[in-house]
Amino acid sequence: MESIGRNDPCWCGSGKKYKKCHLDRENQTPVTLNEIEQVRKKGGSWQKCLHPEAGSKCDKVVRAHSVQRQGGLSRIAREGHVYQLEHRFPKILQNKGTPSLGLVGIKEATTFTGMCGFHDNETFMPIESGAVSFTPEQCFLFAYRSLCKEVYAKQAIRGNTELFRELDKGQPKEVQAAIQRIATWRNTGYAEGVAELETVKSEYDRILLESNGYVDLRYYAVELDRTPEIMCSGFGSPETDFDGNRIQHLADLEPIQNISFSLISNVEHVSNEDAGAGVFAWLGEQPAMECLMRSFHGIPDAEKPAALVRYVFGGHENFAISPEWYDARTAEEQQAIKQRILSGASWEYPQHDFTDDGHRTVDWQVKAVHISKSLEACLVGS
């Protein structure tokens, strides 16, 4: 760093001259918490209806829940709050970019402003109006909702990257370097991710409108005997299976293979009978995802709940946790959870890990498994 000339491009990659960027940054006035909060709100204020028929029918964009609130988050909340991955900038800065957990109210937790009230209601009615029975339509809608949340998250990131780069004012050099690395990771991830995701979403949009019997849908739904203390709605590209074998390389030029995952409460509204479910789903031929599900399918039913827990923390950012459950974990168990979150959600080097660490932190029982016909054929003979 010392050898950079005043007029050279800055080391941080901003494209500005060093003298106009990081020269003497450790002595500049730090960005205030108030300014930081403004940045976060600005990013979070991205609002748009992502429904493919968005237009004249749209009403106001709402805070749509990616995990249901009534009968879902409300069942695992403590005084109206759940743990979520911390995304408030002051906390991220405090932790130097290391992911941590924070309490969030259930009106806010897992929400996104990516759909108008009309389309949110109309689209997700079949998975919001009572216990689901894992029809192809319902499994598709879980996947679609996870995908919309992911599109929203990428868009919200775009809104605040420039100001994110200013967060290192007045900080020592090593913190500057860390923050700029995070910013670059966010930028790159955004540019690559959004292009991929738009292609994927157009395919999902087509199926949403066509309702052709969902022939392209592959799903694997695990019915649980109770509401899981951890809920999740995620859309991602795992690189390894449950045995730790590599199933795809994100750096390859091959198209990235995607899968959605929802871990939900499935309480019957009338009888109030407790239940839950984990639903994996994707569209079309995706051999890497078949590998992933083959490794999951091979896990004995009694061990599948623990594998679902590992899958949430090892590869997802959009989850909510029962504070009562988490606080009752031993220090060692909490450490293991944090370690997995850290590797999966790291700003810099996400590294998925779903392999068994021996921890058994939930009492859920598998009641039944529902597999799409097309996927069933791939699992047989494995």
Residues of the shown chain interacting with Zn ion in the complex, contacts defined by CB under 5 A: 10, 12, 14, 21-22, 49, 51, 54, 58, 116, 119
Residue closer to Zn ion (CB basis): 170 or 193: 170
Residue closer to Zn ion (CB basis): 18 or 311: 18
Give the amino acid at 158.
Answer: R
To the nearest whole angstrom, how small is the minimum distance from the Cβ of residue 167 to Zn ion? 12
- Candidates 123, 163, 168; CA nearest to 146 is 123
The alpha helices in 45-88, defined as continuous H runs, are 74-76
- For strands 366-371 and 259-265, give the pairing: unpaired
The alpha helices in 214-363, defined as continuous H runs, are 287-297, 304-315, 323-327, 331-345
Residue closer to Zn ion (CB basis): 51 or 226: 51
Contacts 24+ apart (CB under 8 A), 375-378: 375/218, 375/219, 375/220, 375/290, 375/293, 378/290, 378/293, 378/294
Residue closer to Zn ion (CB basis): 58 or 194: 58
CA 47 to chain centre: 18
- Candidates 113, 233, 96; CA nearest to 177 is 96
Residue closer to Zn ion (CB basis): 57 or 249: 57
Q: Positive or negative, the Cα torsion across 13, 14, 15, 19?
A: negative
| Phi/psi of residue 365, nearest 5 degrees | -115, 140
Query: Residue 89's beta-bridge partner residues?
Result: none
To the nearest whole angstrom, how small is the minimum distance from the Cβ of residue 18 to Zn ion? 7
Residue closer to Zn ion (CB basis): 12 or 109: 12
To the nearest whole angstrom, how small is the minimum distance from the Cβ of residue 166 to Zn ion? 10
To the nearest whole angstrom, how small is the minimum distance from the Cβ of residue 9 to Zn ion? 9
